[in-house]
Structure 1
């Protein structure tokens, strides 16, 4: 199961990176990280005295492995004017990513609609043709991401034995 990105700081962090893959309508961004936690607010009742024992040391963030996938969607109104169309795209994005989650590396993922679909070709806001076109394009993007991950792993695996061989 894939979690959802809900904090704007996480969206900004992911969208600040270049897109991993893109198509004519969508772009996929990825960061190997976990979602940020909300700031903890201490009330005066919860606050500890400064003379209390030192807090327990936590493990550094850099040493903690990232587990799980979190997905965020960005479907702007300027590219999909009708709410039914925006919701259709969001549902299709979530469905494709939930099916492809096992082949994806962990981290934060954001799928962004970067160009509108032609309204002359897809007249109805929630037509089966629009749903099929969006799903096919998104499936192709997830396939390309998974293929790149497999290719990078095989390149790393192939380069290690060659570098260890005597010259």
Structure 2
């Protein structure tokens, strides 16, 4: 499993298809945009490049693998400790589902807030359990869609 790191990677995946939704999360998926790597050549066999290195097209995703990113906006999780706890849960749960995911880029996005009156502590066990349960439901829906696709 590879993690998404750049803004361009996240934007490319968010522009893709939403494959599953739960009350608090959405899962976006996009096919990998991998450019073929040119074969290694010696200095005498290939002419020097005519354009600078920075103007060549770059692949957003360097390898064919399952790519995952997590988004927990401040709008829906005000405290940093809550956002970080949710992201950690996302990455832990996705590891269990990774073998069943297609080789594509995925973003799990928090799309609504967890009620602070119900979950008082940002790292409470009830919040962790609620997040984990909903993420398992989200990934379960996404995996069944992949398995039922023709």
Compute the TM-score of the two structures, normalised by the length of structure 1: 0.72
1:111-148 deviation line (CA, Å, top 9, x unaligned): 00000001111011110000000000000111111111
SS at match of 2:18: coil
Q: Residue 144 in 1 paired to residue 141 in 2?
A: yes
Larger CA Rg, structure 1 vs 2: 1
Q: Which runs of 4+ in 1 moved over 4 A?
A: none
Equivalent residue, structure 1, for 2:19: 20
- Offset at residue 54 of structure 1 (A): 6.4
1:88-107 matched pairs, under 5 angstroms: 88-107=85-104
Unaligned runs of 5+ in 1: 37-47, 56-65, 157-167
Is the 8 Å Cα contact of residues 5 and 35 (structure 1) preserved in structure 2? Answer: no
Q: Residue 79 in 1 paired to residue 73 in 2?
A: no
1:44-55 matched pairs, under 5 angstroms: 53=47
- Offset at residue 19 of structure 1 (A): 1.2
- Count residues with an aligned counterpart: 129
Distance of 2:140 and 2:33 partners within structure 1: 23
Q: Residue 111 in 1 paired to residue 108 in 2?
A: yes
Unaligned runs of 5+ in 2: 36-42, 50-62
1:61-103 deviation line (CA, Å, top 9, x unaligned): xxxxx72111111100111111111011000000111110000
Distance of 2:120 and 2:80 partners within structure 1: 14
Equivalent residue, structure 1, for 2:121: 124
Compute the TM-score of the two structures, normalised by the length of structure 2: 0.79
